[in-house]
């Protein structure tokens, strides 16, 4: 489950009850303090890019998400220029030791690889449960043009049969009576 809320001037306190959220995209919402996310214990991805976050103290409530949060995006916030990339990385990793990505860059290559493999594994298990069964295609010795015209003729006959059935139904129905 994820939510994408952008360019809204949003107050975060209303999101506290959305405890099943795993991904939250809050880019460009004029957010200066991260509050109300402490109950989002399943949150793995948080995008706070292009907001108004200036200090690490503004990120204080993210400590509650230290076990689940794997990716955090703070690009375009004043905190980047205030602290610099290295200091920001140290401060955020101190708050969130399991973080694998910060500002779309791997924090720790080993963690990032584990997260990537986990995502690939989950994605492949989801798609394998929805396998599409297709009928085998008959191989013919016809040329491409002959095969196409054969398919078109077959399609035209199906359309004609459908029209005939519809006409038969219309002819057998009683006429409409209009009351005045």
Model pLDDT for residues 80-115, shown as the tens digit of each residue: 999 999 999 999 999 999 999 999 999 977 778 887
Residue 1 in this model has a pLDDT that exceeds 90: no
pLDDT confidence of residue 35? 84
Model pLDDT for residues 15-51, shown as the tens digit of each residue: 778 889 999 999 999 999 888 888 899 999 999 999 9
Residues 6+ apart with CB under 8 A from 140: 147
Cβ-contact 21, 45 below 8 angstroms: no
Query: Of all helices (H) and strands (E), which one includes residue 122?
Result: helix 109-128
Classify domain 2-117 at the CATH topology level: 3.80.10
pLDDT confidence of residue 110? 78
**Residues paired with residue 73 on neighbouring β-strands, in sequence order:** 47
Q: Walk across the sheet containing 23-25 and list its strands.
A: 2-4, 23-25, 45-47, 71-73, 101-102, 105-106
**140 compared with 5, residue with greater pLDDT:** 5
Q: What DSSP string describes 136-171?
A: PPPP----HHHHHHHHHHHHHHHHHHHHHHHHHHHH
160 pLDDT tier (thresholds 50, 70, 90): low
**63 compared with 8, residue with greater pLDDT:** 63
Backbone phi, then psi, for 105, in 5-degree steps? -120, 140
123 pLDDT tier (thresholds 50, 70, 90): low
Give the chain's mean pLDDT: 73
C-alpha of 171 from chain center: 51
Q: How far apart are CA 70 and CA 98, in angstroms?
A: 6
14 pLDDT tier (thresholds 50, 70, 90): confident
CB under 8 A, 24+ apart: contacts of 38-43: 38/64, 38/65, 39/64, 40/15, 40/16, 40/65, 41/65, 41/67, 41/68, 42/68, 43/68, 43/69
pLDDT confidence of residue 139? 45
Using alpha carbons, select from 11, 70, 74, 16 the residue that is nearest to residue 43.
70
- Domain residue ranges in the chain: 2-117
């Amino acid at each position: 489950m994820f939510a994408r809320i952008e360019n809204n001037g949003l107050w975060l306190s209303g999101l506290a009850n959305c405890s099943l959220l795993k991904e939250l995209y809050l880019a460009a919402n004029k957010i200066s303090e991260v509050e109300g996310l402490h109950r989002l214990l399943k949150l793995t991805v948080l995008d706070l890019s292009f907001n108004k976050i200036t200090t690490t103290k503004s990120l204080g409530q993210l400590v509650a998400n230290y076990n689940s949060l794997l990716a955090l995006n703070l690009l375009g916030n004043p905190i980047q220029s205030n602290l610099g990339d290295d200091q920001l990385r140290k401060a955020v990793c101190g708050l969130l030791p399991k973080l694998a990505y910060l500002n779309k860059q791997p924090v720790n290559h080993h963690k990032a690889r584990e997260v990537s493999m986990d995502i690939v594994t989950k994605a492949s298990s989801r798609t394998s449960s929805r396998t599409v069964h297709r009928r085998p295609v008959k191989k013919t010795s016809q040329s491409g043009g002959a095969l196409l015209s054969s398919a078109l003729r077959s399609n035209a006959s199906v359309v004609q049969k459908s029209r005939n059935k519809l006409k038969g139904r219309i002819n057998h129905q009683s006429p409409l009576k209009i009351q005045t």
